[in-house]
A and B are shown apart, each in its own frame.
Chain A
């Protein structure tokens, strides 16, 4: 009985995953044809342009980092790359120096490729300032200390933190605050969000991080996928409400509802 329950649970998980992937694919296909649900703008993304402008005015660099916990296996790392691409492109366009501390050697090519592509895109900007993508070895905390040292020397006017963050979030955000930088942070790791909220000017909370990744793309297919995501969440919310009602109402009422449905359907 117990094994059957586990097998049934696993089957339900797999079915749910397949259903979700099917809904996302359908959303993307519909998105290609122009379908999308209205979505709200994220002020933190608009603030990135303001941050780069501030760097250009002050002649100080902009810092972008994915932190000491965004390892190569973390999907948050890849979801941060559209933001890095945007920052690198704007930095090249406004001739602002970009500094990117990287914690893991494996993630270095991912960062370098995003920066390189963005600078290629903005090639006509005639940028003279270089992008400095540096690998700072030593693991999460030594990376944070090394990056903080770099921040105190370079005094970036804007610090942008995207990715999966752990305890080093506070070290970076505090150093940025001490250096009076405009700070924008985004992480789906909820326990770190209060630290960012305390020290940063703009924070993307929880799921907004993933929305940002899709919104930055400006791709109708991604927008369709995003709308499908919203519908899936709405369905989950409805399921929760129905489940809560079924668990709260007296059993007689639930049976009566089921009996009425069965009578209406004719089974």
Chain B
């Protein structure tokens, strides 16, 4: 029963999306009702955030309780959660109050500027602006902005910066001669790297200026161009055609509940 409901929960939204695509631009278009389906899918997905939170607490509180290796790190995770939560909550509440206040500020400012007496108008506008400055001083600190700018973004930037190191590691491995496949990869890499660099043109300048087109063709810049624009592009397009067909096939199998590993019951349990 549970699995049948699960199959229906997958099939119905998928069928709606398919129908939306097929009926698009016709009189029977279901584009508007589809917005409701999209919202429903988003709501269901939001429930999973709670599940993720439970998982984080279960894992890390368990580690702390059992004093397993790295339990101090788990304490940092739990503390970070509460600190981040408090900062983001403060940020959200501040944003809401500032937004509400700004609406009333613009309304009051508009009314004050309607005043015909210039002295009274200037006094009213100054008072409203002073009130605005005083209000904004209270909310100068926004926890969410502080967290994003001073903690989250630097951490992500640091992690991304590590990629340079890892690319060097991969390049080193790619240039090692460890078998037939690796040799092909290395040869292609050498041709492309040298051919795209001025040194490649300098090394084979004599070939490039040859009168014979066959000799000119084996110069490094031309060979690199051939590897990238002809060989690699042809292989990639061939793979992409296969991928396109396969994506549709897998999506269709998931939609009709034939994909193993998702909703099919374990053998022997039913």
Chain A residue, CB-CB nearest to B49: A105
Q: Which of B51, B243, B254, B261 counts the most A-chain CB atoms under 10 A from its CB?
A: B261
What residues on A are CB-neighbors of B155 within 8 Å?
138, 142
Task: Tell which of A34-42, A189-197, A256-264 binds the partner.
Answer: A189-197
Residue B126 at the chain A interface, CB threshold 8 Å:
no
Which chain B residues border A105 with CB–CB below 8 Å?
Answer: 48-53, 55
Q: Which A residues lie within 8 Å of B240 (CB)?
A: 190, 206
Could you jot down 6 A-B contacts, CB within 8 Å?
A14-B21, A17-B22, A78-B261, A108-B55, A190-B240, A206-B239
Complex Cα gap A24–B269 (Å): 29
**Which A-chain residue is minimally distant from B48 (CB atoms)?**
A106
Contacting pair A222 B253 (CB below 8 A): yes
In the bound complex, CA of A170 to CA of B243 (Å): 22
Residue from B160, B173, B259 in contact with A79 in the complex, judged by beta carbons closer than 8 Å: B259
Question: Is B252 close to A, CB under 8 A?
Answer: yes
**Contact A117:B52 (CB < 8 A) given known A85-B261, A174-B166:** no
With A and B bound together, what is the CA distance between A137 and B163 in angstroms? 20
| 4 nearest A-B pairs in the assembled complex, by CB-CB distance | A105-B52, A81-B261, A210-B246, A141-B159
Q: Are B262 and A233 within 8 A (Cβ)?
A: no
Return the contact of B248 from the options A17, A118, A120, A141 (Cβ within 8 A): A17
**Pairwise interchain contact A194-B174, C-beta atoms closer than 8 A:** yes
Give A89's nearest chain B residue, CB to CB.
B266
Within the complex, the shortest CB–CB distance from B37 to chain A, in Å, comes to 14
Chain A residues lying within 8 Å of B170, measured Cβ to Cβ, are: 170, 173-174, 194-195, 198-199
Are B251 and A109 in touch, CB under 8 angstroms? no
- Give chain A's interface residues, CB within 8 Å of chain B: 7, 10, 14, 17-18, 20-21, 24, 28, 72, 75, 78-79, 81-85, 104-110, 113-114, 117-118, 120-121, 123, 132-135, 137-139, 141-142, 144-145, 153, 167, 170-171, 173-174, 177, 188, 190, 194-195, 197-199, 205-207, 209-211, 213-214, 216-219, 221-222, 225-226, 228-229, 232-233, 236-237
SS class, residues of chain A in contact with chain B: helix
Q: For residue A171, which residues in chain B have a CB less than 8 angstroms away from its CB?
A: 159, 162-163, 166
Instruction: Please tell me if the beta carbons of B249 and A117 are within 8 angstroms of each other in the complex.
Output: no
Is there an interface contact between A118 and B266, defined as CB atoms closer than 8 Å?
yes
Q: Shortest beta-carbon distance, B105 to chain A, in Å?
A: 35
Residues on B close to A: CB < 8 A?
A: 21-22, 24-25, 45, 48-53, 55-56, 59, 69-70, 155-156, 159-160, 162-163, 166-167, 169-171, 173-174, 185, 236, 239-243, 245-254, 258-262, 265-269
Q: A188-B243, A225-B258 are in contact. List 6 more A-B contacts (CB 8 A).
A: A17-B22, A20-B245, A24-B248, A170-B167, A190-B236, A229-B249
Q: Are A142 and B156 in contact (CB under 8 A)?
A: yes
Shortest A180–chain B CB gap in Å is 14
The CA-CA distance from A144 to B160 in the complex, in Å, is 10
* Contact between A190 and B245, CB atoms less than 8 A apart: no
Given A105-B48, A121-B269, A222-B258, does the pair A197, B251 have CB atoms closer than 8 Å?
no
CA distance A225 to B174 in the complex (A): 36
User: How distant is the Cα of A253 from the Cα of B200 in the complex, in angstroms?
Assistant: 43
Q: Which residues of B contact A167 (CB under 8 A)?
A: 160, 163
The answer for the CA separation of A113 and B2 in the assembled complex, in Å, is 13
Whether B243 contacts A82 by the Cβ 8 Å rule is no
* Separation of A216 and B248 alpha carbons in the complex (Å): 18
- Contact check, A170 vs B163: say whether CB atoms are below 8 A apart: yes
